[in-house]
Amino acid sequence: MSPATKTQYLSAHKEMVHIGKRKDFAGRICQLEQMTARRAYEIFEGRGRTHGHDLQDWFEAQAELFVPLAGELIEGEYSLEWKADVNGFHSADFEVHVDPRRLVILGRRIGKGTPEQSEPALRCDSEKEIYQVVELPVEVNPVLVTAHVRDGVLGVFLLKAAHALARRAAAA
């Protein structure tokens, strides 16, 4: 395979995802949390305001509002890799933000003719939203992150912080 053909093949099957915070990221997270809280409270009221089921209500609200991702976290000696099936979504639909111990994934696919500002509970099947927070077992370097969608799978590659520091010290 020639280099030009190989580049075309890779670009056709592996799409890079936006990493980092956009200026409205915090506002979007607040909006998603408020929608979840509002729906969880409706579930609480619908059950006759019976206390003691707050986590169950929260998870039920999230399941109604967002596309669930069954992700897999693979830990290597120097890195972590998180993978999830996201069939129907493309790289442009995602935003990934990484803190040292947390991975946040926002995804939004809007079908043709769907109002962009509609509430998730009111959306049709052509409009889907992903909001996933993954607590990481070790610290990672939030700067050394790559994310892509390949063959319907979102992959996020994170370098462990200890390895990044050792690598930087060795280079100095």
Where do the structural domains in the chain lie, given as residue ranges? 14-171
Per-residue model confidence (pLDDT) at position 118: 45
Average the pLDDT over 103-125 and give the result.
62
Give 101 or 25, the one with higher predicted confidence: 101
Give 49 or 115, the one with higher predicted confidence: 49
Give per-residue pLDDT as tens, 36-75: 999 999 999 999 998 999 999 999 999 999 988 889 999 9
From 7-11, 116-120, 124-128, the region with the lowest mean pLDDT: 7-11
- pTM exceeds cut of 0.75: no
Tokens encoding 17: 């995802």
The percentage of the chain sitting over the pLDDT mark of 70, rounded to a whole number, equals 74
Would you say residue 3 has pLDDT above 50? no
In DSSP notation, the chain reads: --HHHHHHHHHHHEEE-EES--TTHHHHHHHHHHHHHHHHHHHHHHTTS-SS-HHHHHHHHHHHHS-----EEEE-SSEEEEEEE-TT--GGGEEEEEETTEEEEEEEE--TT--TT--GGG--TT-EEEEEEEE-SS-EEEEEEEEEEETTEEEEEEEEHHHHHHHHHHH-
Query: Which CATH code of 3.90.550.10, 2.60.40.790, 3.40.140.10, 3.40.50.2300 fits the domain covering 14-171?
Result: 2.60.40.790
Per-residue model confidence (pLDDT) at position 11: 41
